[in-house]
Chains A and B, each alone.
Chain A
């Protein structure tokens, strides 16, 4: 008879086991990481926006846990206490209702909702603040494209892609749009999402308390490689950031030994990709490609496999990042090395050249 009750008692234990199995704390931090990334999450935030959002999450969670505990207590008490026992064949009293009780459980939720509504409205208005005119903020135009991110620093006049480099403890005012489908800009450890939609301009801001590398994600389904549309936010000290901007402004130089690659690049790649940070280019700007953490959004670009990964990418980009047929028809996919007429040695030269592009 009480099989169900046993399960009821087992469930919380099962859930605890499930959490324990993961071998990590509730903040989602994990040791032994492969890439040097700050493990900031919405529960372990590193910026004022995400801090405020966490505080709102905690407040609502607190109220809701209270509700849950009350309901669960009443529920389990009633189920256990009023189970039908053997030989109990009398008819229980048929109760129509109870006005006092019904008023209580109408009024209490109204009060709880009101309590939650106040911080909600406060933070909703606060995070809608517009820093796009602020002189103290770094102004960045972010354009989402299938499946990469273009960053244009308005005041500095420089462009980059995939890695958003910003100074610590500074408001970053983001102006968002898209040129194809709807995407959503999300840095889980620093700030919640804002959509990037074609024909629409959205504004948001964030800041970071500590230098480091933060994960960024596309959070709106945008096609086959939506999952791979990651980016990085690289937070530097204010001095390092200034130095980075200065070096980005300098014209691209060809390092010794990569002249051949540079020429191939000029002939085959330059129509789409710029290596000069002052020009955006149609597709990702590669001015600081050698500094990038990842190639194609998920393959390592710094470790021992960096060469192999970039070679794989150039040889057949859509095998690394799948695109839809229609996207291909629209010319929004990178051609293969073969289509570009690149030999294996050409590709090798290109890889060397691209990895030399550091700032």
Chain B
């Protein structure tokens, strides 16, 4: 395959641990994100079982708080984020006609830091108890009143956040510098556009979270006083920092989902996206406004009517670009030839479902009314319509759509439709009734409730819905297992697609494009097919340079993992004396830091010359 004298090639497990190929990293993100999605889903099911009837004794208050905290944290940071990164990695370089991402090594660093950060967030299942202050981790509950679980949250997300930030920068540079000849910004596919904008949001939002988590850790580990009132601190400061990050985070997640369905709908309606430039304008505007609405999460904090009113209006304004998108989607399939493939079912269902989440969002933006909605089940209903009805439907649709490209195999359409029906019905059953529960006065995050408040039946319905969603997910798992046993038989373009990823084999060769394509319009493949041609090449066949695999991203992340555990346990009281002695000696912290620094040193000192795939080899491969 390559220069025998320059490159080590690994196989099996080592291949996955050392890979810097964005397609393989995409699959790693899919596996890890999928795993955490199942964990978060199981937590959700346990939550719903506890709430199936009033005064249920399935779990106690402490366990319940751990479950809701882990459910939210896992789903947002460890499931939705990596699943979006999975599609970013698998699709964006192919859509812009690039052979690789800008920083393949950092890409691997991003995955492994996310993965080990995610493990730290989950260490509490094994020792010390889980984070229990909600995914919003409000201080001082999380600083003065929580066990070591709050350290797992702060340190784990800190490490996972490095991966996200690195990934964001990587995709920004990739999209800016590595587009194929002729692929102007105004010819980029919508998914790439949304990833581009999302990466900017990541770049400007995640550092705020990083600082917030550092402050929480300093309060907990070094007795700092950022959020401790007795020491002059201010707990509301955490709320500001968290939501300055947290609201843009919502858009980090939803914009790529917008992008995914903007790819699926045109493909299965056989029509180009309606209002392409206004779609881009709306995406950018949503991202921009997303940074100036965070106070709408804090209307009840007591920041005064003027502040509340200002942030209320800025929040309502987001309805405008979102509305543009909704109507553009409807008019994309208006006049088309709509095929009801599984991927398209998800994409179609996304539109009205997301609108339902959107309109409650506008209702929530009204401070005086929000005093009633806030922290009630109405809010729970709202954000699950946006996150499940938006992001998860987008991700499931994207999975069915791009599965052939990623794996060379097509997910079963009939099982896919079974999943869709079960999952979507379950989703509506679970969350629609929660609007009413909220308006009838049920607060969120309560582990139980008294009978006689009119909530019993709706909670039962909601729990039944959760079981439907579980059943749908199980069918999806079966579908994935069965599909994996099928042969790789998918052609380059199984869906009659429109964009560049469908011009190369499924799954693509490691170098993606034998010759870089020349792009002359939006939807280059579609345009070429209409003319009965192929997408033209922009260069003659030549040797292709590839980066070498490396174990350093993995070792670096292991170093972070060890140092992270070490710093949390450095002052922790263990029952076992020798364990306590070991951690109090700070050896793990220094060992972890040493591993990180040595890995960085090696990376800096040893130049990666990569290897070349020669023309003869390219010609051999069909």
Q: Which residues of A are interface residues toward B (Cβ below 8 A)?
A: 1-4, 7, 11, 14-15, 18-19, 21-24, 26-30, 32-35, 37, 39, 41-43, 50, 52-54, 56-57, 60-61, 64-65, 67-68, 71-72, 74-75, 78-79, 82-84, 88, 90-98, 101-102, 105-106, 108-110, 112-113, 116-117, 120-121, 123-128, 146, 180-182, 184, 186, 188-189, 191-195, 197-200, 202-203, 215, 217-228, 230, 298, 322, 324-327, 330
In the complex the two chains form, is A193's CB within 8 Å of B374's CB?
A: yes
21 A-B residue pairs with CB within 8 Å: A19-B433, A28-B439, A64-B363, A67-B359, A74-B330, A82-B333, A90-B337, A93-B271, A95-B271, A95-B272, A102-B278, A124-B366, A180-B140, A186-B443, A191-B371, A192-B374, A194-B302, A195-B301, A224-B61, A227-B61, A327-B145
In the complex the two chains form, is B335's CB within 8 Å of A97's CB?
A: no
Given the contacts A227-B446, A326-B145, A109 and B319 also touching, CB distance less than 8 Å: yes
In the complex the two chains form, is A106's CB within 8 Å of B324's CB?
A: yes
Q: Which residues of A contact B340 (CB under 8 A)?
A: 1-4, 83
- Closest-CB distance, B443 to chain A (whole angstroms): 5
Interface string of B414-429 (1 = CB under 8 A from A): 0001001100110011
In the complex the two chains form, is B317's CB within 8 Å of A121's CB?
A: no
In the complex the two chains form, is A117's CB within 8 Å of B372's CB?
A: no
Q: Which residues of B contact A64 (CB under 8 A)?
A: 359-360, 362-363
Q: Which residues of B contact A90 (CB under 8 A)?
A: 337
Given the contacts A21-B457, A124-B367, A189-B441, A221 and B433 also touching, CB distance less than 8 Å: no
- Closest-CB distance, B607 to chain A (whole angstroms): 48
In the complex the two chains form, is B436's CB within 8 Å of A28's CB?
A: yes
In the complex the two chains form, is A60's CB within 8 Å of B363's CB?
A: yes
**Residues of chain B at interface, number, CB under 8 A:** 107
- Closest-CB distance, A312 to chain B (whole angstroms): 14
In the complex the two chains form, is B372's CB within 8 Å of A82's CB?
A: no
Interface presence of B494 (CB below 8 A): no
- Closest-CB distance, A130 to chain B (whole angstroms): 11
In the complex the two chains form, is B420's CB within 8 Å of A219's CB?
A: no
Interface presence of B6 (CB below 8 A): no
Closest 9 CB pairs of A and B: A192-B371, A188-B441, A28-B440, A199-B229, A224-B61, A227-B446, A123-B368, A64-B359, A22-B457
Q: Which residues of A contact B349 (CB under 8 A)?
A: 4
Q: Which residues of A contact B443 (CB under 8 A)?
A: 186, 217-219, 227
Which parts of B317-343 form the interface with A (CB within 8 Å)?
317, 319-320, 323-324, 326-328, 330-331, 333-340
In the complex the two chains form, is B145's CB within 8 Å of A180's CB?
A: yes
Alpha-carbon gap, A3 to B229, bound state (A): 58
Alpha-carbon gap, A228 to B54, bound state (A): 12
In the complex the two chains form, is B312's CB within 8 Å of A192's CB?
A: no
Which of B41-49, B97-105, B447-455 forms part of the interface with chain A?
B447-455
Q: What DSSP secondary structure best describes chain B's contact surface?
A: helix
Interface string of B590-616 (1 = CB under 8 A from A): 000000000000000000000000000
Q: Which residues of B are interface residues toward A (Cβ below 8 A)?
A: 60-62, 64-65, 132-134, 138, 140-141, 144-147, 229, 233-236, 269-272, 274-278, 300-302, 304-305, 308-309, 312-313, 316-317, 319-320, 323-324, 326-328, 330-331, 333-340, 345, 348-349, 351-352, 355-356, 359-360, 362-363, 365-372, 374-376, 417, 420-421, 424-425, 428-429, 432-433, 436, 439-441, 443, 445-454, 457-458, 461, 530
Alpha-carbon gap, A221 to B445, bound state (A): 6
Q: Which residues of A contact B309 (CB under 8 A)?
A: 120-121, 124-125
The answer, among B356, B374, B461, B530, for a CB contact under 8 Å with A91, is: B530
The answer, among B65, B133, B338, B424, for a CB contact under 8 Å with A84, is: B338
- Beyond the given pairs A42-B439, A322-B61, 16 more chain A to chain B contacts, judged by CB atoms under 8 angstroms and listed by A's residue number, are A11-B428, A15-B432, A71-B352, A91-B270, A96-B274, A97-B277, A98-B275, A113-B313, A127-B368, A192-B372, A194-B302, A197-B236, A198-B235, A219-B374, A227-B448, A322-B60
In the complex the two chains form, is A93's CB within 8 Å of B335's CB?
A: yes
- Closest-CB distance, A43 to chain B (whole angstroms): 5
In the complex the two chains form, is B363's CB within 8 Å of A57's CB?
A: yes
Q: Which residues of B contact A223 (CB under 8 A)?
A: 61, 65, 141, 145
Q: Which residues of B contact A11 (CB under 8 A)?
A: 425, 428
Closest to B332 in A: A95
In the complex the two chains form, is B374's CB within 8 Å of A18's CB?
A: no
In the complex the two chains form, is B454's CB within 8 Å of A39's CB?
A: yes
In the complex the two chains form, is A198's CB within 8 Å of B229's CB?
A: yes
Q: Which residues of B contact A124 (CB under 8 A)?
A: 305, 308-309, 312, 366-368
